[in-house]
Amino acid sequence: MSSGGFLKELQVIGEKLLLKLQRLPKADPVEIVCFCVILLFIVTVLVMMVIACSCCCYSCCTCGGRPDHRRRKMQVRPAAH
């Protein structure tokens, strides 16, 4: 998909969402609850993605952008008696 087609698709989705939001005050209570549940699901997924990406980046790199070599796993050898 070209970037122009992708932007056009995003614009169409945005217009549908705006139209839905404009009709929401006049909607049935069931429709309002369904819309809120879908919106809550989308927000939850986005928040979980941000948390997962930040945890992954934090465990791989320090704040300076360099890997933390002190956290490298070391092989444990049995003690000689």
pLDDT digits (tens, 9 = 90+) for 48-72: 999 988 877 766 665 555 555 555 6
For 37, the domain range is 28-60
Residue 34 lies in a domain: yes
Which percentage of the chain shows pLDDT scores above 90?
27
DSSP 71: G
Residue 2 lies in a domain: no
Phi-psi region of 74 (alpha: psi -120 to 50; beta: other; left: phi over 0): beta
The chain-wide mean pLDDT, for the chain, equals 81
Rounded alpha-carbon distances, angstroms, from residue 81 to 18, 74, 75, 76, 78 = 74, 21, 19, 16, 9
Residue 67 lies in a domain: no
Whether pTM exceeds 0.75: no
Q: Check whether 9 has a pLDDT greater than 90.
A: yes
Number of domains within the chain: 1
